[in-house]
Structures are given as C-alpha cells and as structure tokens.
Structure 1
Amino acid sequence: MDILSAVHRSDLEWLETHISYHEIDWRKCVHSKSGDTALHVAALTGSTQVTSWLLSHGCDVCIEQQNMDGKRPLHMAVQASTLPIVRILLYYGATIDPLKRADWTPLMLACTKRSLQIVKYLIENGANLRLINKDGWTSFHLACREGDEEIVNYILDIDNSVWNTVSNNGRSPLHTAAMHGHETTVQTLLSRGNYLTDESDACGNTPLLESLRMGHISIARLLISKHQADIYAKDKIGRCGLHIAAEAGQAQIVKTLIETCGVDVNLLSDTALWLACGSRKRECAHRLRDLGAKDTADHKGTLPSHLMQI
C-alpha cells in the first residue's frame, strides 16, 4: 500500500502531498500480513516527524490498535528502542501497560532491549512492575535474564522486594540469572535479596543446578561460596549436580566437581557415566572414564557403554 510504503520510507513530503486524511479510515489502512497500521510502521522506523504528523491527522484512532502479534504502536516504539516515539505516543494518550500476545507489556520489552532510559520513562509514567506475562515472568525476571546491571539495580531501587517473585514453573530471578550466565547479576541478587539456600523450582532445580547444567562454573563457585549452595542437592528425579552436568555434556564442570569439590564420580542416581552416554556426550563420557567412572550395569544388565561406545 502506498501510504504504508511512504511511512516506512519516512517520506513526510509524499504524505502531505497525497493524503487527504479526512477521506481515510486509518483503522483499515493496515498491512495484510502483519496487521500493522501506519502508526505501527512509523513507531518502528523511528520517525518522530511522521509519527507526529499521523497522530495530528487522524491516525490517533489507531493508537490502541493491535497487529497480528497483539502489539500496539507503543510496543513497536519500545521494540525499536526509540524514546522520542515513546514520549509522543504517551503524550497522545497511549495506554502505558497494554498486553501483546503472551501478555508482554512495553516495560517487559524494554527490559529485554537493555533500554534503561525507556525503562525509567515508562516506570516514571506509571508502568506496573508487578504485572506478569503468561509464563509468570515479571519485568524484573526479564531484566535478570538479560543481565543488564543498570536496569536490575534501578528496578531494585524502585521496589526493593521485587526480587521475591517466582514464575509459573517456580523459577526466581536468581534461577534465571544463574541459568543465563550473568555472574554480576547473581552477585547483586545475593547481596540485595534474601533468597533461601537451595530454593528449588517446580522440577526441583536450584540456581546451582541450573548454573551447572549450562556450564557456568564461576557462578557455581559463587553460589557455593556465598550462598552455601549444596553440591549434593537433587532435583525431583534424584539427579544431583554431577549427574546434570554429565547429561548436559559439561566436561569441565564434571572435572571441577570431582577434583575440586570431591564429589564421588560413581555417585548414584543413574551414574554420571550413564547420563553422559545416554545423552551422547562423548567428550564428557571420556572425561568421566579418565576420572575413574565405572562402566557399571543397571538391574537389566545394560552398561553405559552399550548406549554409546566409549
């Protein structure tokens, strides 16, 4: 459509020349596949001039219109990390906490985009930090997932109890930061929050187990030394950190747990060697054998080496 193309090009001269806004139903001027209105497109491209022109020429009727993903123009401005457009849309009355598909607010998007200025502006204008998406994640969970220390500390300054929340599957912001390898954020959460040692999610995973699964050895050491995390803590199916690291193929983690932390290489649930072979993690299986893991049969007589040649 010519209008959407002109907006995409930020061609204000074409719009002023060709558009008689009294004759346009802006709500029907949408992209056939994305459902984007002209205001969505302008917000995403970041043209303050075109955005202002559209809003002052009748397109303000689209300010709360959703595209196929449930995004409103404010979502698009935040997605593009364009603070001037955010300001313009809020000035014209855009709702501060609209939900897109999966119940994401603009503030949640801003936290994933590491846009501290936009995070501040949204909160200062009334954005709700306590809203959750369909997975039970708050904006603070998302900030911890990204590991942006400025945003993490800013939100804690605004609400010093925001650390005390869990998602639908029981994961805290500490679980999230540990899983995604953000050591500085883990340090911040341990110093500014009051997390219980070895608090587990719905599957029995502690922050330590998540860090071991993902191979974040420095975070694992931090949790053990500063949070007194239990290296023998087990998930709901009886696996401790050694088993989880072996199954994930984290050879260096396995070596550290055995040689530095003194974990028994043949510690039972299924043995670590069983899990490494079952998951086809050849390097980790070889490391376990080198460290003394036994090729021990289960009650059916099946050996780990039957699952994968080692």
Structure 2
Amino acid sequence: MLLSDLPSEILALIGRYLLAESLRALTLTCRYFFLVYQPALVRFNAEAHAWGWTPLSLVARHGHDAIVELLLSDPREDPDKCDREGETALFWAARCGQASIVRRLLATNRVNPSGKNRQYQTPLYGAVSRGQTGTAGLLLDTPGVELNCSDEWGRTPFWIAAAQGHISTVEFLLAAPTIDINRPDDTGKTPFIAAAMHRREEVVAVLAKEMRVDLRARDKHGRTALSWAAVKGYQGVVRLLLNIAQLDPGSRDLEGRTPLAHAAWYGHTATVSLLANLEGVDVNSRDHLGRTPLFLAVINGRYDVVHHLCNRADVEQGVIDSTGQTLRMAAQDNEDRTMLALLGSFNLRTEEPPPLAARDFLHIAGFVIALIALCWQISSLI
C-alpha cells in the first residue's frame, strides 16, 4: 500500500509526529498531502525552509495557482509575511514571472506592492532584475508603486535592468513617463555607465539613441562609460561609444587618467591599439603623478602593452614621472627582470633622471599632488 492510499485521518495522525521540515517536504510531493496537512501548516505557522520561506511564497514562485488560491482562502494566512530576507510571496512571484499569481495577490488588497526586503529592494526591483517585463508591468499599474526607488546601494529598478542587460525590460521602462534614467547609484554610476561596464552592448546602443540619457555622465571617480569600458577591455562597447559624437575619448578622471591610460594599466592591448589610433587622442597624456600610458603599463607588468606602445613612433619613451622615476627605474623597483629585458630590447630614447636632491623634491611634490587628488575625491563623496 502506498502512503497516499491511507485515509486522511490516519495521515493527520502521522503528521503529529513529524518535524515541521519533514511535514513541509511531504506536502510538496503531491496535492493530496498538501490538502491534508495545509491546516496544520497554517495553524502552527511552520517555516518551509531555513530562510523562513512560507508555504505561500514557495508555491507562488513555482506558479501553483490552485494551491495559492487554497492558501489565500484561509483567513489566518498572512499573504504579506516576509522570509528572513524580508521577501514576500509577491516579491517571489514577481521575480519568477508568475503573472497570474501576482494578479491574485494584488487583488487581495492584503499585500504591500512596494514592500522592501533587507536590501531595500521592492517586488518591482525583483521583477526587472530577472527581466520579467510582464510582472513588472502589473506592478507599475498598481497605485503606490514607486518606479525610481533605490536599494541599499542606490540602484533603481532601471539601473539594475540596464546592468543586467535585460533589453526588453529596459525598453519597457523607458516608456514610463516618470522614469529617471540618469539616477546614479551610490558610487555615481548611471544606468548608462552600468551597462557599459557590464558589457551590455544592446542596452548601450539603445540608451545611446535616447535623448534623455546623459552620455557624458561621470561617477564619483570622474570616470565615464568609455573609461569603464576601457578598464574592462570591452572592445565592442568601446567601439559603440566611440561612435557617439558627444563623447571625448581623451577625457580624464580625477586621477588624470584617460581611457587609454586605463586600458594600458589593465593590460588590454587590443583596446590600447584601438584608442591610440584615434585622431586627437594623446598617447603621452600624463596623470597626476606624471605617468603616461606606457609608464603605467611598465609599472603594472603589462608586457604586451609595453611591446605595442614601444613600437609606436609617437610614444614618448624617455618619460620621467613626478617622483623622478624613468621606465627602467620603475621596472627595477618592481624587480621585474622580464620588463627590464623587454625595455632593453628597444632602443629607448632615455633622459637622465634629475640629481638626488631634485629627485627628493620631486618625490615630495608627487606625494603632495597625489594627496590633493585624494582629498578631491574624498570631498566629492561627502
């Protein structure tokens, strides 16, 4: 005889001797067990999981409409109960794209459509983070739902949709009349910058055509979308951004570094080549410590970038930074024999470093410049 063949009275008696976790697991095996044990689960408010998931939140995320209806028919069931992360059945249904269940929960008028979890994320945020345009639309049609609310890190639903690359959701939200498409997160990154730094080429292309998007936006470090694409070495995104007339490929951040300098520092040779070949880009631009892209590549041990730049006739090879270091001195300080050998293979146009006393002065001057730049960054965060 199968367990499911037993009368409900005997099953109810067995249930008295089961732990809450075991009872919960049993109810998930078939509808009959759920119908038998559902009253006990509601009465004892048994938790479904270590995270505090309720029966309603479990069945809501998996789209079991009939069981949701059954649970909601019990007046003792709290449809707005949160788990340990502060997430309700509505949050899970929205995140998992269960449109019919979202409608049913909203129709009860017993759930908060703008309730926030521990990260201050709403059901709308949960929906767009997974690209669930359908449930996002249902929530936006609900009175009281805030479109531009920020989570713990200052990220709006539109921000996370752009960063995650959910193009259909991005286009859907762009049509909302109250959308704030340029609201930055706590680090100053706008949705446009977020899309670029996460390699979301489709989103970048769509936002680049949107008149309301601030294409020149900078984060709190003064970095643009192009700067971040260069940091990551995303050639496709870099090419897209370079086709935008309003963007300056030689823009500097608060450290005085250009997109080319960032690409050199992080060793993205193809991106370095792409940027260095642009008309108007200064391949010898210096940051606040007087370091060029070549100098930065030497310091960070980017051999391919160094080889590429040293082969260019327009790259200054005898550069001395504000601390009085030459390229070879920087490689020596790092005890980088491979870099020293690479530099030695080129007939570098070197300059003599300044005398020791002058170099001490330059070290102090370089420290002061760096300190001023740091204070500037800190003041921008306040």
Larger relative contact order (CA 8 Å, sep ≥ 6): 1
Residues 250-261 of structure 1: pairs in structure 2 closer than 5 A: 250-261=234-245
Q: What is the aligned partner in structure 2 of residue 90 from structure 1? A: 72
Aligned identity (percent) is 21
Matched, 1:110 2:93: yes
Matched, 1:65 2:67: no
Preserved contact between residue 165 and residue 203 of structure 2 (Cα < 8 Å): yes
Cα shift at 1:23: 6.2
Cα shift at 1:80: 2.6
**Counterpart of 1:242 in 2: which secondary structure?**
helix
Matched, 1:122 2:105: yes
Residues 141-160 of structure 1: pairs in structure 2 closer than 5 A: 141-159=125-143
Aligned with 1:29 (options 19, 25, 29)? 19
Consecutive unaligned residues in structure 1, runs of 5 or more = 1-5, 31-35
Consecutive unaligned residues in structure 2, runs of 5 or more = 306-382
Query: What code does the residue aligned with 1:104 have?
Result: E
Aligned with 1:228 (options 205, 208, 212)? 212
Q: What is the aligned partner in structure 2 of residue 75 from structure 1? A: 57
Cα shift at 1:238: 0.8
Q: Deviations over 1:19-43 (max 9, x none)?
A: 45346536x514xxxxx34235524
Preserved contact between residue 216 and residue 246 of structure 2 (Cα < 8 Å): no
Aligned pair count reads: 292
Tell me the TM-score normalised to structure 2 length. 0.68
Cα shift at 1:243: 0.5
Matched, 1:185 2:172: no
Cα shift at 1:199: 2.0
Aligned with 1:239 (options 216, 220, 223)? 223
Residues 135-146 of structure 1: pairs in structure 2 closer than 5 A: 135-146=119-130
Query: What code does the residue aligned with 1:112 have?
Result: R
Tell me the TM-score normalised to structure 1 length. 0.82
Q: What is the aligned partner in structure 2 of residue 3 from structure 1? A: none
Q: What is the aligned partner in structure 1 of residue 36 from structure 2? A: 53
From the CA coordinates, give the structure whose radius of gyration is larger. 2
Preserved contact between residue 165 and residue 200 of structure 2 (Cα < 8 Å): yes
Preserved contact between residue 98 and residue 105 of structure 1 (Cα < 8 Å): yes
Q: What is the aligned partner in structure 1 of residue 342 from structure 2? A: none
Larger displacement relative to structure 2 (78-87 or 128-137): 78-87
The 3 A distance-change label for structure 1 pair 199 and 59 is closer
Q: What is the aligned partner in structure 2 of residue 210 from structure 1? A: 194
**Counterpart of 1:158 in 2: which secondary structure?**
coil
Matched, 1:42 2:27: yes
Q: 1:22 and 1:271 mapped to 2: Cα distance?
A: 73
Q: What is the aligned partner in structure 2 of residue 287 from structure 1? A: 274
